[in-house]
């Protein structure tokens, strides 16, 4: 394709290091679509004969049909998907195929194909996350009143509801979806027609090709158009953030599924056994979601480092942009689906959660709050009094609400029998009805809003 100025062909090493076809063949649909838009524009503007444009478009359809049926052939001599398609087109329709590359370069071609591919990846992430969110809000609705211990420092802190905990992940994934959506809007511009780097002397219509490919507009600067991989980095940033959220949820499921916690039984369909220990059921899917986040963050790092020192415009380093994005997108799709399956299929052991919430003096803050409200004691002093009560209860091996009233009054005379009503875990969660708090009524409100946002209610 470029042999004109060369006396010798490339060495075997050159062929191998140069070839991107092993991975960029994944762009074949986008490559055909972009070429069809380009050739239709060349015909419509009279840059090539309308008849030739029709022949080339028909030839591209025939190449696409071959790829669909037999896959994309991998010939290193043809370097990449763009040359593979063009060379096959020449075999099928003859020398007229050579007119397709008028007023374009592989530099704007690959930028266009890759943007189209990443655009689909944005949509795929969004659709997957919507399914995960549906599972989260469904389970949260079922468990709006199921009490579990809430932790800080992984130490029992205050009782919360399982529904509240699950809805925390709904909020995270909602932000993830909005990140993908923002990035999609920013990236949906067509680089096609930037040509090699400087634009072209042919009277092309970039608005026409942009529209045909579903872009909002053509890009505004030809140098930027062929140099920009922000859209792919934006995708990976949003993917990395999403994977961090998934990884934290995975970590919690792994903890909760362990015997000392015993808060959840994960579905058999997303667990594995041990080849040596017959009793084991391992949360492998959750562990792999946690593991995959490392690779997704690695993909982001990889592409950022590839790009960081490149002068304008295109450099061949940029060919390495695709493998990290392809890998991360595959891992992300799987991770989201696995997580949706685990949440939908989990059996939550609410008795054990409830019992665990009783341990660790989770309602100590409620005693302090009661002292503030009922006895008008400043919170700092109430905190100190409560500390003494916890110390006493601990030394007796009793939960707070089983300390005799006399003992509580010996610590502070202002305490009376009404305090016991505030010390149950039910009273504790019900009291936290501030906006966004864990009270079951409040959680039900958030679940209803989320269901509306997801289109789950009429």
Which of 234, 235, 244 is closest to 293 using CA atoms?
244
Which of 179, 193, 188, 187 is closest to 230 using CA atoms?
187
Binding residue (CB under 6 A) for ligand ARG from 318, 325, 338, 422: 318
CB of 7 to ligand ARG, least distance (A): 19
Interface size with ligand ARG, residues (CB under 6 A): 10
| CB 339, CB 266: distance < 8 Å | no
Q: Tell me which residues in 8-37 interact with ligand ARG (CB under 6 A).
A: 20, 24
Return d(Cα 427, Cα 419) in angstroms, integer: 11
Return d(Cα 456, Cα 458) in angstroms, integer: 7
Binding residue (CB under 6 A) for ligand ARG from 47, 56, 110, 328: 110
Q: Is 87 in the active site?
A: no
Binding residue (CB under 6 A) for ligand ARG from 209, 222, 319, 335: 319
Residue 52 vs 86, nearer CB to ligand ARG: 86
CB of 263 to ligand ARG, least distance (A): 48
CB of 24 to ligand ARG, least distance (A): 6
Pairing of strands 189-190, 217-218: parallel
Residue 135 vs 226, nearer CB to ligand ARG: 226
Binding residue (CB under 6 A) for ligand ARG from 169, 170, 215, 314: 314
Q: Is 11 in the active site?
A: no
Write the CB contacts of 350 (distance below 8 Å, at least 6 apart in sequence): 143, 146, 147, 148, 162
CB of 234 to ligand ARG, least distance (A): 19
| CB 99, CB 164: distance < 8 Å | no
Q: Where are the beta strands (DSSP E) in 141-258?
A: 147-152, 155-161, 189-190, 217-218
| CB 107, CB 318: distance < 8 Å | no
| Contact range with ligand ARG by CB under 6 A, out of 106-114, 121-129, 154-162, 443-451 | 106-114
Q: What angle, 0 to 180 degrees and rounded to 10, lies between the N-to-C axes of helices 230-257 and 162-187?
A: 170
Helix (H) or strand (E) holding 155: strand 155-161
Site string (73-92) toward ligand ARG, x via CB under 6 A: -------x------------
Binding residue (CB under 6 A) for ligand ARG from 30, 55, 107, 247: 107
Residue 87 vs 374, nearer CB to ligand ARG: 87
Which of 431, 386, 423 is closest to 377 using CA atoms?
386
Residue 222 touches ligand ARG, criterion: CB under 6 A: no
Site string (383-412) toward ligand ARG, x via CB under 6 A: ------------------------------
CB of 321 to ligand ARG, least distance (A): 7
Both tokens of 64, joined, read 């696409």
3-state DSSP helix/strand/coil % of the chain, to nearest 5: 70, 5, 25
From the candidates 178, 274, 315, 388, give the one annotated as an active-site residue. 274
Return d(Cα 266, Cα 255) in angstroms, integer: 11
From the candidates 11, 153, 269, 395, give the one annotated as an active-site residue. 153
CB of 90 to ligand ARG, least distance (A): 18
Site string (268-307) toward ligand ARG, x via CB under 6 A: ----------------------------------------
Return d(Cα 83, Cα 290) in angstroms, integer: 39
CA distances from 335 to 244, 282, 425 (A): 11, 17, 35
Residue 84 vs 241, nearer CB to ligand ARG: 84
Residues with active-site annotation? 153, 274
Which spans of this chain sit near ligand ARG (rule: CB under 6 A)? 20, 24, 80, 106-107, 110, 314, 316, 318-319
């Amino acid at each position: 394709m470029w042999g004109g100025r060369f006396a010798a062909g490339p060495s075997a090493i050159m062929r191998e290091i140069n070839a991107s076809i092993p991975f960029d063949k994944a762009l074949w649909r986008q490559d055909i679509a972009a070429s069809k838009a380009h050739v239709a524009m060349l015909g419509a503007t009279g840059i090539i004969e309308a008849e030739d444009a029709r022949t080339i478009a028909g030839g591209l359809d025939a190449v696409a049909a071959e790829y669909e049926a037999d896959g994309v052939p991998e010939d290193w001599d043809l370097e990449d998907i763009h040359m593979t398609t063009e060379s096959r087109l020449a075999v099928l329709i003859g020398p007229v195929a050579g007119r397709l590359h008028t007023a374009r370069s592989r530099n704007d071609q690959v930028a266009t194909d890759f943007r189209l591919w990443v655009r689909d990846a944005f949509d795929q992430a969004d659709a997957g996350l919507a399914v995960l969110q549906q599972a989260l809000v469904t389970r949260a609705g079922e468990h709006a009143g199921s009490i579990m211990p809430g932790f800080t420092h992984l130490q029992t802190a205050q009782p919360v509801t399982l529904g509240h905990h699950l809805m925390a992940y709904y909020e995270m994934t909602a932000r993830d979806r909005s990140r993908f959506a923002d990035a999609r809007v920013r990236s949906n511009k067509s680089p096609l027609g930037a040509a090699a780097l400087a634009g072209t002397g042919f009277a092309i219509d970039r608005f026409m090709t942009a529209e045909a490919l579903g872009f909002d507009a053509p890009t505004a600067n030809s140098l930027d158009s062929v140099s920009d991989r922000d859209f792919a980095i934006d995708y990976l940033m949003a993917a990395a953030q999403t994977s961090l959220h998934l990884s934290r949820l995975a970590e919690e499921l792994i903890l909760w599924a362990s015997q000392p916690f015993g808060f959840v039984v994960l579905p058999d369909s997303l667990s594995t056994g041990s080849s040596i220990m017959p009793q084991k059921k391992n949360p492998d899917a959750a562990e792999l979601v946690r593991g995959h986040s490392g690779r997704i963050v690695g993909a982001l790092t990889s592409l950022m480092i590839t790009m960081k020192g490149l002068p304008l415009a295109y450099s061949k380093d940029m060919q390495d942009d695709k493998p990290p994005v392809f890998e991360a997108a595959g891992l992300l799709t799987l991770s989201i689906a696995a997580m949706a399956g685990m949440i939908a299929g989990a059996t939550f052991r609410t008795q054990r959660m409830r019992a665990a919430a009783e341990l660790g003096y989770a309602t100590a803050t409620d005693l302090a709050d009661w002292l503030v409200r009922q006895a008008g004691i400043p919170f700092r002093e109430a905190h100190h009094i409560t500390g003494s009560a916890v110390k006493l209860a601990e030394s007796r091996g009793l939960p707070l609400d089983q300390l005799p009233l006399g003992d509580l009054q010996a610590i502070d005379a202002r305490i009376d029998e009404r305090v016991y009503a505030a010390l149950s875990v039910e009273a504790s969660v019900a009291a936290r009805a501030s906006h966004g708090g864990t009270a079951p009524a409040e959680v039900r409100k958030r679940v209803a809003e989320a269901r509306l946002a997801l289109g789950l209610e009429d």
